[in-house]
Amino acid sequence: MAEKTEQRVAVVTGASRGIGEAIAHALAEQGRHVVCVARGAEKLEAVAKAITDAGGLASTKVCDMSDTAAITEMIESVAKEHGRLDILINNAGITRDNLLLRMSDEEFDDVIQVNLRGVFVACRAALRPMMRGKWGRVINLGSVSGLVGNAGQANYAASKAALSGFTKSLGKEMAAKNITANVVAPGFIQTDMTDVLPQVVKDAAQKAIPLSRFGQPREIAAAVAFLASEDAGYVSGQVLAVDGGMTMC
């Protein structure tokens, strides 16, 4: 059942597929107007249509999350068009996997630009309308790679680990403004990215997961939806691993 907060506006980046798409649907089911953001318009429109066909509220914004000026413009346009911005879900991210000794400066910088700097720019722009509304929820999507590291992903793990310190700092700065900030760190989730992994890699991953299976996008979306809800007003500065128990010890 949707909460009586239909007026709240949520921005979800990377909403055209996978986890971002599931988050967009989950927030719409709560009664939010969801602004779906990604680089490609066609898939975004399909997600928004599915939400509206189900009785929800959704619109789209095309934005390259490596373009800091475009991010700021996108956030400001959402706040202007709707008169508010209450929830920011920073889900968009990229990988440029390589062993550290072979990793180029560009592979490192590209990942940091999108996964960390893009989040910083989006948060900076979104905090202003949240402060005006005296209410806000920021949820940044991390990764278990940022908690325990992963061979071949030094750039990605660094970007996701940095999100933890960034989000905790944001939470402390904004607490007096009734704005919370948290990280959801997914483990192995069944998406397009994991579907293409060799079976031997999938088998090894499942052996490392106490629940012995990959998670579903809707399970990440459920955690995000809680942290974005009215009921999560006393939860801030936390890193919630949704990983089947991989990091429980």
Q: Is the dihedral of CA 218, 148, 150, 39 positive or negative?
A: positive
Q: At what angle do helices 154-174 and 118-133 cross, to 10 degrees?
A: 20
Give the Cβ contact number of residue 138 at 10 Å.
26
Q: Determine whether 73 is exposed, middle or buried from the number of CB atoms within 10 Å of its CB (0-12, 13-18, 19+).
A: middle
From residue 55, give the alpha-carbon distance in Å to each of 31, 44, 151, 224, 225: 9, 17, 44, 21, 18
Specify which residues 61 forms β-bridges with. Answer: 37
The catalytically annotated residue of 108, 156, 188, 214 is 156
Q: Catalytic annotation on 156?
A: yes
The phi, psi pair for 139, rounded to 5°, reads: -125, 120
Q: Which residues are catalytic?
A: 156
